[in-house]
Amino acid sequence: MKAKIHPQYKETDIACACGNVIKTRSTKPGIKIEVCSACHPFYTGQQKLVDTAGRVDKFKKRVAATKEKADKKAAAAKPAVKTEAKA
């Protein structure tokens, strides 16, 4: 191997948004993450929406708009029933 071309591999901390800190080794100093094994729903067994930049709200709004369009289309497709009074 060539000397002095590889990055330094040193001890660093991975800090999660929940406050959990994991010590490991990496070429990057100080890594920040949003979700770790201490707060991820798969490991905790709790339902939690991980919303990055409003993606969940954006998705719910889009689904509601699609459903509303489908309801309007279904209402417009029904033929209007005329009731005539016979004299």
Contact indicator for 10, 25 with CB cutoff of 8 Å:
yes
If one compares 77 and 27, the residue with the highest pLDDT of the two is 27
Give the span between the Cα atoms of 46 and 42, in whole angstroms: 8
Over residues 56-75, the mean pLDDT reads: 88
- 49 pLDDT higher than 70: no
Which of 2-6, 27-31, 73-77, 83-87 has the lowest average pLDDT? 83-87
Sorted by where each begins, the domain ranges of the chain are 1-46, 49-77
Q: Is the pLDDT of residue 43 over 60?
A: yes
Query: What architecture does CATH give domain 1-46?
Result: Irregular (4.10)
* pLDDT of the residue at 63: 93
Length, in residues, of the chain: 87
Distance of CA 29 to the CA centre of its chain: 27
